[in-house]
């Protein structure tokens, strides 16, 4: 269950998919530098259901963030780290 601080961060994030601009849900980053990581509520990116886990070219269907980057040209790991930093310096 996300903490109140995490919820505030999620509310601060754009509510649209970073790829297509559709209505988004929170995607937890699963891999960093080819290593599977444990769930981190702060390491997230907004994705629509199609690009999150419902479509054939979703991050889950493709097997993680690296294949997603190769297919779509969007680095979800970089995006999530950059926006977490923006959030921290903007508070």
Q: Which pLDDT belongs to residue 33?
A: 65
Residue 35: pLDDT above 90? no
Q: Which pLDDT belongs to residue 30?
A: 86
Residue 3: pLDDT above 70? yes
In this prediction, residues 20-40 reach a mean pLDDT of 85
Q: Which pLDDT belongs to residue 34?
A: 65
Instruction: Report the alpha-carbon distance of residue 41 to residue 61 in Å, rounded.
Output: 21
Instruction: Report the alpha-carbon distance of residue 73 to residue 33 in Å, rounded.
Output: 16
DSSP H helices in the chain: 4-12, 49, 59-62, 65-72, 76-90
**Chain segment 37-87, per-residue pLDDT in tens:** 778 899 999 999 999 999 999 999 999 999 999 999 999 999 999 999 999
Tokens in use for 55?
């479509």
Instruction: State the total domains in the chain.
Output: 1
b/e per residue 34-70 (b: at least 16 CB within 10 A): eeeeeeeebbbbbbbeebbeeeeebbeebebbbebbe
Show the domain range for 13. Answer: 4-90
Q: Which pLDDT belongs to residue 8?
A: 95
For residue 26, the surrounding DSSP H or E stretch is strand 25-28
């Amino acid at each position: 269950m996300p903490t109140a601080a995490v919820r505030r961060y999620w509310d601060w994030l754009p509510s649209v998919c970073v790829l297509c601009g559709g209505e988004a849900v929170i995607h937890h980053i699963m891999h960093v530098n080819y290593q599977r990581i444990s769930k981190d509520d702060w390491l997230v990116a907004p994705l629509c259901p199609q690009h999150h886990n419902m479509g054939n070219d979703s991050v889950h269907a493709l097997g993680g963030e690296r294949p997603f980057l190769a297919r779509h040209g969007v680095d979800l790991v970089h995006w999530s780290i950059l926006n977490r930093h923006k959030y921290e310096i903007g508070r």
